[in-house]
Amino acid sequence: MVVIFRFGLLILGLTLCLSAQQTVAEMVLPLWPDRLDTSRETVQPDRGDGVLRLTDVINPSLEVFLVPSSPHPAPAVLVCPGGGYSKLAYNKEGTEIATWLNGIGVSAFVLKYRVPDNRAGAFADAQRAMGIIRHRAAEWNVDKSRLGILGFSAGGHLAASVSTRYANRGYESVDDADEQSVRPDFTVLVYPAYIAADGYAVVPEIPVDGNTPPAFIVQTQDDTHYINSSIAYYTALKEGGVPAELHLFPVGGHGYGMRPSGNAVSSWPKLVARWFETTGVLTARH
């Protein structure tokens, strides 16, 4: 068990050092029938930071990154990039995260959800993606009882929404995939946004209760606009009796993804990997 976990962390370290090396996706799937026209999608101008920013997404999709040659069904994570619901930081908070997850034995599904300014559409896209993953779990060698969601910034708000509003669909059922549960088994939030209302209360559209999935939250104190979101979500989980970890670092700002920042917060992937092991997401056979 220890050897396998350390091997995963070794791969994690290599991924952090060689962020340009990306795992190749198995496939890209449209989320909705007959909707894969990407002609209107826009890549925003490069800001010199190597971030691929997508906007004008009207036909959402799911990019599939499976653990290669896993002898047993692997745990899986739906990855929700951030971008203020106006764009998607698609590589920094999407495909790079999928590479790391594959390296520690977790299959990854990167969600390209509708932007800009379409929170209802994004919520429907995320719910639909969860149903598709569970519906095709056997085909993809995924353990549908260990399917979580991970989100950054606005993607963190989306992940928290899916984790708390799973009982009600945001759209009309279209096929058998919509018969599956959309409740994540666990949630990872990295500098989540838009969750706090006044002070440390959660916003009404994120109704945390005792059935909300366990969560792991990463935040920095100097992320002044959004620190209350992490504290509010953690506090609500605590009051609901839901197991949760909140890792609060003094500096690091917002939007660092998994790229080395020179700050202690860059250790968050190692902490998540440890949490996966201690909570049973990752087991000895992985």
Can you tell me whether residue 273 is helix, strand or coil?
helix
CB-based contacts of 172, cutoff 8 Å, min separation 6:
none
β-sheet bridge partners, residue 249: 220
Q: In whole angstroms, what is the distance from residue 111 CA to residue 133 CA?
A: 11
Q: Is 172 left (phi over 0), alpha (psi -120 to 50) or beta?
A: beta
What are the pLDDT digits (tens) for 57-80?
Answer: 999 999 999 998 888 999 999 999
253-280 confidence digits (pLDDT tens): 999 999 988 899 999 999 999 999 999 9
End-to-end Cα distance, the chain = 8
Q: Does residue 110 lie in a domain region?
A: yes
Give the percent of the chain with pLDDT over 90.
Answer: 82
Quote the pLDDT of residue 37: 58
Range of the domain at 163: 2-279
Domain membership flag for residue 284 = no
The reply to whether 286 falls in a domain is: no
User: In the structure encoding, which two tokens stand for residue 11, read together?
Assistant: 């791969």
How far is residue 238's CA from residue 242's CA, in Å, rounded to a whole number?
A: 6
- Is 228 part of any domain? yes
Number of domains in the chain: 1
Q: Supply the pLDDT for residue 152.
A: 98
pLDDT above 50 (res 286): no
Is 285 inside a domain boundary?
A: no
Out of 31-40, 98-107, 189-198, 199-208, pick the least confident: 31-40
Strands 142-152 and 74-80: parallel
Whether 92 is in a domain gets the answer: yes
- Of 87, 78, 189, the C-alpha closest to 134 is 78
pLDDT band at 16 (very low <50, low <70, confident <90, very high): very low
> Does residue 183 belong to any structural domain of this protein?
yes
Structural domain includes residue 222: yes
Each residue's pLDDT tens digit, 116-160: 999 999 999 999 999 999 999 999 999 999 999 999 999 999 999
For residues 15 and 4, give the distance between their C-alpha atoms in angstroms, rounded to a whole number. Answer: 17
The number of angstroms, rounded, from the C-alpha of 94 to the middle of its chain's C-alpha atoms is 8
CATH code for the domain of 36: 3.40.50.1820
Tokens of 165: 């509003």
